[in-house]
């Protein structure tokens, strides 16, 4: 499918034709790292929100001079690319205090160790609460207003309520289409693999929403009547730390499993819940981003995360869960242990993997995954 090829190619490189065209028009690109960053504000300012990732990285030689080896290797690979100038096309970097590892990466960026292409360069850290109570929503909304005002001043624009609503509608349309794409994966013979799905999601974080929605809409239409994948031995769900590399999911699927669901930062955590368009724009954004499907940084939401995963297991016909955690990822460490207990009680096969960002130890991972699928014994 042409649309699938286009989106897959976008997930494989840092810079793509859409970004080149955007920059040729004199428009700005603002990088961000975590799905807790409110991309609608960036989009409403006339800039392109670009989610930075470690694609094309081969080592952390430069980053290891600034971050200890016990820091998250995703952050170290991203920082390494930045130190090498691979992100020189960015006009700014906005981060959220998602975890200590991201904070340290941002600090190095802010202190000037990353060779910024010019000055002034937009840098901003949004402080997001770790709870979802009403007073936390108000505090987060205040943080977002500060971010909006600073970004507007930097770009020399006014971010109006109308612009925010247009951005919300565009992002909600992406969420609607991605949710529909996930619905196809409930089928006995899904028309798209897990690796392909991840590539499609990634593409939406590095191109304009209007073009993305157009391409994604056509892909969804084609997949609705496409022939499905029936040759697999187990229907799997992947849970855990950030995965921005479809090759890792492909490794699982090459072992005989089919990843038909996930709970990761490039999955439901990113797009599942829309912004309530009946609310004031900033109120709706604050509520959506703080009260949507959460990652384990939200300390009170373990129960809701577990219930959502259990529902996906039922709805998607999951026969086993693969929990993967980037080494030294603090927030997913305890979550993985608690999820292992819950799945054991429910009788759901569960495999826990610790990995580095670069899949250099693919052989060892493959052996464990193959053994897990064999243990499930779910031959279709």
327-348 tens-digit pLDDT: 999 999 999 999 999 999 999 9
* pLDDT tens column, 245-262: 999 999 999 999 999 999
Please compute the mean of the pLDDT values over residues 110-129 and round it to a whole number: 87
- The least confident of 2-6, 119-123, 154-158, 339-343 is 119-123
Give the predicted TM-score (pTM) of the model.
0.96
Closest CA to 209 of 171, 177, 180, 244: 171
* pLDDT tens column, 48-82: 999 999 999 999 999 999 999 999 999 999 999 99
Lookup result for tokens 């693919």: 362
Which DSSP string corresponds to 296-326? Answer: TTSTT-HHHHHHHHHHHHHHTT-SEEEEEEE
pLDDT of 116 > 80? The answer is no
Strand 234-240 to 257-263 pairing:
parallel
Contact 282, 164 (CB under 8 A): yes
Show the domains of the chain with their CATH numbers.
Answer: 17-160 (3.40.50.11890)
Bridge partners (DSSP) listed for residue 228: none
Give the whole-angstrom CA distance, residue 96 versus residue 114. Answer: 18
* pLDDT tens column, 169-226: 999 999 999 999 999 999 999 999 999 999 999 999 999 999 999 999 999 999 999 9
pLDDT of 380 > 60? The answer is no
2-36: b (≥16 Cβ within 10 Å) or e:
ebbebbbebbeebbbebbeebeeeeebbbbbbbbb
Q: Residue 1 has what pLDDT?
A: 77
Q: Residue 11 has what pLDDT?
A: 95
Q: What residues contact residue 294 under an 8 Å CB cut-off, 6+ apart?
A: 132, 269, 301, 304, 305
Classified as helix, coil or strand, 249 is helix
């Amino acid at each position: 499918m042409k649309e699938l090829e286009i989106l897959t190619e976008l997930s494989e490189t840092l810079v793509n034709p859409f970004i080149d065209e955007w920059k040729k028009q004199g428009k700005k690109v603002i990088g961000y790292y975590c799905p807790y960053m409110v991309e609608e504000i960036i989009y409403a300012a006339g800039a392109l929100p670009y989610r930075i990732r470690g694609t094309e990285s081969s080592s952390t030689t430069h980053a290891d001079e600034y971050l200890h080896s016990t820091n998250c290797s995703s952050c170290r690979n991203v920082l390494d690319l930045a130190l090498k100038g691979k992100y020189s096309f960015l006009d700014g970097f906005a981060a959220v205090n998602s975890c200590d590892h991201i904070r340290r990466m941002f600090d190095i960026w802010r202190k000037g160790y990353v060779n910024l292409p010019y000055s002034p360069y937009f840098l901003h850290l949004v402080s997001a609460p770790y709870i979802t109570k009403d007073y936390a929503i108000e505090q987060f909304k205040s943080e977002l207003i500060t971010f909006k005002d600073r970004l507007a001043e930097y770009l020399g624009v006014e971010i109006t309520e109308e612009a925010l609503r247009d951005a919300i509608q565009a992002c909600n349309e992406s969420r609607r289409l991605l949710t529909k794409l996930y619905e196809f994966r409930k089928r006995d013979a899904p028309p798209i693999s897990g690796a392909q799905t991840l590539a499609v999601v990634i593409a939406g974080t590095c191109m304009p929403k209007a073009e993305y929605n157009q391409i994604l809409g056509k892909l969804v239409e084609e997949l609705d009547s496409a022939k499905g994948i029936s040759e697999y031995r187990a229907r799997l769900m992947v849970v855990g730390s950030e995965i921005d590399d479809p090759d890792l999911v492909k490794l699982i699927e090459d072992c005989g499993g089919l990843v038909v669901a996930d709970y990761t930062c490039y999955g439901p955590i990113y797009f599942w819940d829309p912004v309530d368009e009946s609310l004031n724009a900033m109120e709706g954004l604050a509520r959506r981003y703080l009260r949507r499907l959460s990652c384990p940084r939200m300390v009170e939401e373990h129960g809701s995360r577990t219930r959502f995963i259990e529902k996906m297991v039922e709805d998607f016909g999951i026969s086993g869960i693969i929990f993967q955690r980037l080494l030294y990822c603090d927030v997913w460490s305890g979550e993985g242990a608690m999820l292992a207990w819950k799945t054991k009680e429910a009788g759901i096969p569960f495999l826990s993997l610790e990995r580095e960002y670069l899949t250099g130890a693919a052989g060892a991972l493959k052996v464990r995954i193959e053994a897990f699928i064999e243990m499930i014994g779910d031959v279709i």
